[in-house]
Amino acid sequence: MICNFCYRACDIKEGGEGYCHVRKVHDNHLYSSGYGYLDALDIDPVEKKPLYHFLPGTKTLSVVEAGCNYHCDFCQNWQLSQSEKSSNSTFVTPEKLVELALQFKVPSISFTYSEPIVWQDYVINTSILAKKEGLKTIMVTNGSFSKESLKVLYPLIDAFNIDLKGDAAYYKRVCNGDIEPVLNGIEYMVEKGCHVEVTTLLIENIHTETIIKNLGKALKQRGVNVWHLTRFFPSYKMKDRAETSEKFLANMINIASASGIPYIYGGNTSSVYSTFCSNCKRELILRDRIDYSVRKESLRNLENGYCIYCNNPIYGVFD
């Protein structure tokens, strides 16, 4: 049976499983082995996703099922992404999850930490219910959508943070993946009017100035407005590699800025990245040094999504 959740389109035989180890076939039935088994249920500032232009200053209910369709050596969340359903997980129905979000009085639910594309049946069922209750939905993803999943997900998900990990060679060599579905996914979601922010994890001595220049060009062409460049820390199969330095990050942010993408931020850094108006350059949204959460009073620098100083529209969803 063919799984249509991601671009890999695995053909799974009876008793077998797909590349992600999550999708399985039993009794001629294709199913997700960890459906509803959550390994984390946290309340985070939405800035931690990272999303800097989507309901800034609010909290989101973050949930995860184990599993991923990539096996990247540098994975920063490998305990969750590279496992199947764990013994510590808790079964939470979509109905219960929406009820919890309402109880916690958060405006959004985030599907995050591993790869929600491989557990999108749970994402879809929860999002349908969440929308009926006026909740927003967020997906933090590697962007390796199938054509079918793009069509199903875009009306149900309000905001995406999509990874763009490197160039085509990097996807092949480090992720055993393919850059094309990711770029197509970014383009599709931007065209459909979803809120999109992109993240690139920078590894020093792997990501070069040329790579960042080319990625910036590709994102700009696809209408991306917000790009996060985050520092790598040794993890999973890359524990022997040094963490990315602040100096390297700062240099890459300079290179990225030449792309013309109006909002570029550093992540996993001791520097504070505020949002500046792309027109008058005034500082609009200030963030906390420790957890990047927003200084609430600074949100008054925006009125209905416009800069109060020059009336420039700021990309994002602000209420």
Binding site for ligand SF4 (CB under 6 A): 3, 5-6, 8-10, 18-20, 22-23, 69, 118
* Residue 118 three-state SS: helix
Q: Give the shortest CB-275-to-ligand SF4 separation in angstroms.
A: 35
- Cα–Cα nearest to 273, from 300, 298, 245: 298
User: ∠ CA 55-58-61 to the nearest 5 degrees?
Assistant: 105
**67 or 216: CB nearest ligand SF4:** 67
Q: Give the shortest CB-317-to-ligand SF4 separation in angstroms.
A: 28
Please report, for residues 87, 270, 291, the alpha-carbon distance to residue 97 in angstroms, rounded to integers and kept in the order given.
Answer: 20, 34, 25
Contact 277, 303 (CB under 8 A): no
**18 or 166: CB nearest ligand SF4:** 18
**1 or 299: CB nearest ligand SF4:** 1
**120 or 200: CB nearest ligand SF4:** 120
**Rounded distance between C-alpha atoms, residue 269 and residue 294, angstroms:** 16
Cβ of 172: how many Cβ atoms within 10 Å? Answer: 13
Residue in the shown chain whose Cβ atom is closest to ligand SF4: 18
Report residue 233 CA to chain centroid gap.
Answer: 18
**22 or 211: CB nearest ligand SF4:** 22
Q: Which residue type sits at 118?
A: V
Q: What are the structure tokens assigned to 168, written together? A: 């085509």
Q: Give the shortest CB-289-to-ligand SF4 separation in angstroms.
A: 38
Q: Give the shortest CB-4-to-ligand SF4 separation in angstroms.
A: 7
**22 or 183: CB nearest ligand SF4:** 22
Q: Give the shortest CB-226-to-ligand SF4 separation in angstroms.
A: 27
- The total number of residues written for the chain in this structure: 319
Q: Give the shortest CB-11-to-ligand SF4 separation in angstroms.
A: 9
